[in-house]
Amino acid sequence: MLKLSSVSPSRIKTFDACKFKYWLTYCRDDVVLKNNWGAAHGDLIHNVLEYYSKREDVDWVKRLFKGYGGKLECFDRHSNQIETKESPLIWAKPQDFKDKQPKCDICPYAEDDFCAISLEPLDKLTGCPKELFDGSIAMIEKVMERYEAIWPKVLKKDDEEIGFEYGYRIPIAGTDIPMIGFIDLIIEEDADTIHVIDYKAGKHTQDYSKCRDDIQVKMYSLACRREFIDDVNNKGFKYKNVMLTFDYFRGQPVTVAFSKEEDAQTEVYVKNKIQQIQSTEWIDRIVRNNEELDTKTKFGQVAFTCKYLCDSDVCKSRWKGRFKT
């Protein structure tokens, strides 16, 4: 059996992408997979927007500087500790950072012989982060312009704002494994309707049909129906409708809604997926054509081409062939 204490869209997507990656990510405490620019940068953008929208840190530019410099301290909801976020520049592609030639003599970020973005000495720069930083500034300003009038409508309960980074834990019928996750923003449209908004800061965008077919979107809808309409956690919610918007910052927002019957179908899917994960005995790597890999070339070497974001060095060193859990 594979380890499973809770289920989330990311767990399901990882399992479907590659069982070996799932095993490395969720079943091994001694393995840490490397990050990537999209995830690290998106996490920083989320953090800046969260603290600004909650009015816990309105000096968002200073917060962004700290993030890029690897000096941003904040509460990590997974470890329940104060942690320092690593700079996304660590994971930037060479052509976007290290291969960029600095022009410090005309750069407004050159301050007292240091780069105000990377915090490196100007005479020892490992690249130029100006273009990436300016891109983050432009993205955040665009988002803030869109949401300044929306944030005041955030979901409240007993006069307390609870609609920022809302954590949910929903039971799945027929299993003892809860569905968990966090929602970026929940606003109250009217007395009957809540509007769930998820920030998407990465380059990946989806049109309406692909968004509506995304398991994360479906699981968010199921979670919100159980939490805010069915009130399975007895919090006193009595809403009747749920809208979901996935805001692709590099594209267009997509708004969807699901029926009660569709959410029920999603719950059956999640239940079956939980059972599939728990009953898994053999661990395989998944190749580009989604075929199980144990095929050897004529030279006796295993052919392997992976399209998924992973840590190829760890994968190569840990993979010894198909194995049983």
What pLDDT sits at residue 306? 66
285, amino acid identity: R
Q: How far is CA 258 from the centre of its chain?
A: 22
Phi, psi torsion values for 84, nearest 5 degrees? -95, 120
Give the pLDDT confidence of 183-203 residue by residue, as tens digits. 999 999 999 999 999 999 999
- How many contiguous H segments (helices) and E segments (strands) does the chain have? 9, 13
In angstroms, what is the C-alpha Rg of the chain? 22
Pick from 251, 45, 40, 246: which is nearest to 136 by CA? Answer: 45
What pLDDT sits at residue 297? 42
Mean pLDDT within 18-44:
91
Give yes or no for a contact between 243 and 257, defined as CB atoms under 8 angstroms apart: yes
pLDDT grade, residue 3 (50/70/90)? Answer: confident
Give the pLDDT confidence of 169-178 residue by residue, as tens digits. 999 999 999 9
Q: Rounded CA gap, 155 and 116, in Å?
A: 37
60-68 vs 37-53: helix axis angle to the nearest 10? Answer: 150
Give yes or no for a contact between 154 and 187, defined as CB atoms under 8 angstroms apart: yes
pTM of the model: 0.88
Give yes or no for a contact between 224 and 244, defined as CB atoms under 8 angstroms apart: yes
Q: Which of the residue ranges 8-12, 31-35, 314-318 has the most confident prediction, judged by mean pLDDT? A: 8-12
Written as six digits, the tokens of 165 are: 């980074």
pLDDT grade, residue 312 (50/70/90)? Answer: confident
Q: 305 pLDDT exceeds 80?
A: no
Give the pLDDT confidence of 275-303 residue by residue, as tens digits. 999 999 999 887 544 444 444 444 344 44
Give yes or no for a contact between 21 and 299, defined as CB atoms under 8 angstroms apart: no
What pLDDT sits at residue 163? 96
Any idea which of 2-11, 209-218, 222-231, 237-246 has the lowest mean pLDDT? 2-11
Pick from 271, 287, 161, 263: which is nearest to 212 by CA? Answer: 263
Give the pLDDT confidence of 251-274 residue by residue, as tens digits. 999 999 999 999 999 999 999 999
pLDDT grade, residue 109 (50/70/90)? Answer: very high
pLDDT grade, residue 2 (50/70/90)? Answer: confident
What pLDDT sits at residue 79? 73
